[in-house]
Each structure stands twice: as C-alpha cells, then as structure tokens.
C-alpha cells in the first residue's frame, strides 16, 4: 500500500480496457488528467466476454474489502456481440444473456458501497471491411458486424436507464466524423489515439454532468499536497513562489 490514500477509479473490461494504456490510450489520458487526484487502476482482459467477467466479480471486486473504488468504468460487449461459431466455442454471448450479465455486474458493484459510482461503456462500432482484411490466419472466421454491435449497444443503454447507471454510448460517439473507421480504430476493432480521445471526452462529460456528491470531475477534486511551498519555483518578481500543483500547460489537449 502506498499513501496517501487516493480515490480509486477502476477500469474493468476486455481488450479496449487492457489496451487503454497503450499508444495514447484513454486509460493513460485519464491517469494524466487525474494525476495527484485519483489512482486509475486497470483490470482489463483481452478477449473476454461478459460471462468471464461475471465469474470473477468477487475476485476483482471483493465485497469485504475495506477500501472500495470511488468509480468503476465497465466495458463488455464487443466480444459478446460477435456472431456465434458453429463449434459452440468462442466469445459470443446471446443478447438476452449479455444483458443479464451486465445487470449482475451493476448489481454487484452497487452492493460494494453506497458511494460507489458506475459508468458503463457500450459496444462500439467496427470497420467491417478492415476486420475481414486484417483477420489473422490463426483465427477461425470472425463475425463482427455493425448491426450486431448496434443491438448490443442499445441493449446496454436501455439497461443503464432501467438501473439508473450512467452510460457512454460508444456506438454513436465513435461515429463522430466521416472518416471514423480509419481515424478512430487501429484495426477496425481496437481504438486508435484519436478514438481514445473520444472516449475520454465522453467520460469527462458524464463526470461533469452527473449529480454526484462529491463530484468526481477532475476540476472539482483536490490535488494531493497542494499547499504553497517556499521550495516551489520562484516567480519573476522574486518575492514569491508559484504553486504548480494544478498546472496543465503540458497537455496537448486542455480537457474540460
């Protein structure tokens, strides 16, 4: 354990979560935004579907833990929404079962603490042509279509409304411009740096607009060890120091 204890934001999901610290990913961006404010913890599992997530809920989020997360961002659905394989193997989960799994995840998380906050990310779109073109020889046929993605995304949105859980509709958000297929994805499925910026923008919107007390938006959270110090850099007038604890000028994007 490293102190002081900060709020914990847990990212829980499949490859879009596991890869979120790579190549300008959205997890890394959030870690920068929340530097000195919250710890961003990664629980991402490449290739997983909601079945596997439900199986490990008690291990990833034990109910008897003394410190519970302040925020959990959950993403499952991309692998669930793949078409079924004739062998019965593979990540496909029927839509109704997927919804039940996501409901179990939300219920489990809500049971951890009265103060825990939850954001679900829906199934994003895919570049169907590129998925087919870049399919590895090691894989059997991959059935990924935007029609399937849309159905799973809409089902997640509907569930979140029913359970009063905040949700980011990635299926819509990532189709934000004409060239979204090439600009927002690296291989037609996984997010590029540009796609990750879209995810961060949408998460920050939720955090800013949500009526949560205390607020988990980065501008509303205190920075650790933010008191003025005579050891800070000296101002141009030579009479005072400049407190750098809230400086953000290093960021290429000034996030709202």
79 contacts 48 by C-beta, under 8 angstroms: yes
174 contacts 198 by C-beta, under 8 angstroms: yes
187 annotated active-site: yes
The residue among 58, 37, 44, 36 whose CA lies nearest residue 10 is 44
Catalytic pick among 14, 31, 70, 196: 14
104 contacts 98 by C-beta, under 8 angstroms: no
Burial of 157 (0-12, 13-18, 19+ CB in 10 A): middle
CA distance 147 to 178: 18
20 contacts 29 by C-beta, under 8 angstroms: no
Sheet holding 71-75, edge to edge: 39-44, 8-13, 71-75, 117-121, 166-168
CA distance 116 to 43: 17
As a whole number of Å, the end-to-end CA separation of the chain is 31
Catalytic pick among 32, 183, 187, 245: 187
CA distance 151 to 10: 26
232 annotated active-site: no
Catalytic pick among 153, 190, 196, 217: 190
14 annotated active-site: yes
What residues act catalytically?
Answer: 14, 187, 190
């Amino acid at each position: 354990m490293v102190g002081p204890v900060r709020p914990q934001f847990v990212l829980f999901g499949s490859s879009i979560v596991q890869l979120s610290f790579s190549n300008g990913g959205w997890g890394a961006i959030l870690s920068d935004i929340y530097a000195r404010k919250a710890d961003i913890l990664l629980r991402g599992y490449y290739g997983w579907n909601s079945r596997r997530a439900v199986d490990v809920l008690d291990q990833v989020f034990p109910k008897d833990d003394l410190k519970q997360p302040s925020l959990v961002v959950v993403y499952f659905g991309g692998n669930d929404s793949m078409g079924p394989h004739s062998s019965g193997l593979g990540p496909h989960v029927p839509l109704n079962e997927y919804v039940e799994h996501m409901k179990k995840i939300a219920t489990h998380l809500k049971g951890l603490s009265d103060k825990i906050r939850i954001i679900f990310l829906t199934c994003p779109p895919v570049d169907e042509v590129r998925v087919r073109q870049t399919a590895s020889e090691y894989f059997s046929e991959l059935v990924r279509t935007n029609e399937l993605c849309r159905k799973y995304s809409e089902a997640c949105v509907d569930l979140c409304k029913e359970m009063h859980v905040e949700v980011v509709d990635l299926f819509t958000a990532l189709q934000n411009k004409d060239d979204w297929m090439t600009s927002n994805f690296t291989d037609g499925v996984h997010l590029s740096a540009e796609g990750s910026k879209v995810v961060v923008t949408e998460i920050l919107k939720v955090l800013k607009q949500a009526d949560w007390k205390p607020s988990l938006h980065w501008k509303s959270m205190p920075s650790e060890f933010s008191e003025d110090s005579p050891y800070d850099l000296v101002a141009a007038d030579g009479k005072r120091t400049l407190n750098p604890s809230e400086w953000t000028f290093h960021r290429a994007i000034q996030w709202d």
